[in-house]
Amino acid sequence: MERAAQSGDRVKVAYTGRFVDGSVFDSSEGQPPLEFTIGAGEVIPGFDSAVMGLKTGESRTIDIAPEDGYGLHLPEMVAEIERRQIPDDHLLEIG
């Protein structure tokens, strides 16, 4: 019998990340699965813990709270800069 993934295991995960409204913000579709070691701090904590206990071929739908992801929105950490401060050859994207 196959064992469940645990801390220290190297895993490969196909995933799709969605916002609450259902729009996709990231996905492994069309590329190799995300490979990481569980518990090594290579991915956000909520993703790490969600993979724990899965067996090969299993899937899971999860919601990751901000504190288990990239953290809460902190307005004091947002900086506004003028476009002229960015080199002309630098491509900008919304988001």
**How would you write the pLDDT of the chain (95 residues) with one tens digit per residue?**
688 999 999 999 999 999 999 999 999 999 999 999 999 999 999 999 999 999 999 999 999 999 999 888 899 989 998 888 989 888 888 76
Structure-token pair, residue 66: 């901000």
pLDDT of residue 88: 87
pLDDT of residue 15: 95
pLDDT of residue 92: 81
For residue 85, give the 3-state DSSP assignment. Answer: helix
Alpha carbon separation from 49 to 34, 38, 55 (Å, rounded): 15, 8, 14
Structural domains of the chain, with CATH: 10-85 (3.10.50.40)
pLDDT of residue 91: 84
Alpha carbon separation from 29 to 24, 68, 89 (Å, rounded): 11, 23, 29
Q: Structure pTM?
A: 0.74
